[in-house]
Amino acid sequence: MTIQQPDYNPSGVGEINGNIFGLPGDYESANLIVIAVPWEVTVSYGAGTANGPQQILDASIQLDLFDFDHPDGWKQGIFMMEIPQDICEKNAYYRTLAAKIIERLAQGQPLTATPDLTPILREINQASEQVNQWLFTQSQAAINKGKRVAVIGGDHSVPLGYFQALATKYPNYGILHIDAHADLRDAYEGFEFSHASIMFNGLKIPQISKLVQVGVRDICHEEVKIIDESNQRIIPYYDPMIKQKLYAGSTWIDLCREIISHLPEYVYISFDVDGLDPKLCPNTGTPVPGGLELEQTFCLFRELVKSGREIIGFDVCEVGDGEWDANVGGRIVYKLANFMDLSQINADDN
């Protein structure tokens, strides 16, 4: 279904109207609901991704809306809910507390040393669980109204509640994960819902049958062991191996098709922008040399749509607090919104 907006000119000047891309519409009329989660309490390197949703919103009105893959994509109806200020405030408070824990661990001291920081750790984990529950509730409410959902972080811990909401609708779905990191650490630095633990936590959801990771290049021994012992539930496409195959003459299109072949019918895309070359999002939380070009990821998603699989949701996380990062992040959000719409149009036609 497309939204009829006879008075809106997609070629006009972007309007600062509070909605992403300056698009018209509201929650009730939109087909895609964008939920901002300005949360980065557990970041262990660079901060600023909590401002990513606001930065993307501010930058989005500068984007032209013609999409070569889906010229009428803007008609689907895209609405971004108001950025929750209470989560912003809690993020600032708990981020300060988390920094004490991270510093203590970096000094090689136990949390139980004086002063004992274990009560603070419990408090942070409880606050993170509350954010997860909030997102689950918001996502499920939209899904129950027949809407699609997209999430903008914040750090990469934030989409867990959305994973859980999708699991109430889809008994079997896969995740296509773009990232420099595997995010398979168990409670990294003691934080149960760490940005480095999102896929470890996600795989506790039995409905997630497959995790295909693309671009990973910063990984620990324990994570490699989890992947190797996953009985093919996790399929890695490590960045050095991708590059080696391309240098040896493989085509990216062929690699894309191979990557997609591992995914089930329903696919969720989890896009951590540090999976890209850092020149594209230099202010991301944990930049790593190497990575993908933006058009490489769009090519992968294009082939995913062509395969007949259905994109059921997505997140864009770790967008740094910078104008250029926000420009790139906004383009990713819009492109994924259009690919998701295309995939569901194809599913309806079939």
pLDDT in tens, 298-334: 999 999 999 999 999 999 999 999 999 999 999 999 9
- For 157-167, give one letter per residue: b (16+ CB within 10 A) or e: bbbbbbbbbbb
Q: Given pLDDT bands bounded at 50, 70 and 90, which one contains residue 189?
A: confident
Residues facing residue 34 across a β-bridge: 80, 150
Tell me the C-alpha distance between 317 and 159, whole Å.
9
Residue 155 CA: distances (Å) to CA of 80, 101, 152, 264, 338: 18, 18, 9, 26, 23
CB 152 within 8 A of CB 36: yes
Cis ω before 240 (30° cut-off from 0): no
Above 80 in pLDDT, residue 247? yes
Q: Which of 330, 331, 335 lies closest to 36, judged by CA? A: 330
Q: Given pLDDT bands bounded at 50, 70 and 90, which one contains residue 3?
A: low
Q: Which of 150, 202, 156, 154 lies closest to 181, judged by CA? A: 156
Task: Give start and end residues of each alpha helix (H) in the chain.
Answer: 52-60, 85-106, 118-144, 160-167, 198-202, 221-228, 239-247, 252-261, 294-306, 323-349
Above 60 in pLDDT, residue 2? no
In one letter, which amino acid is 102? I
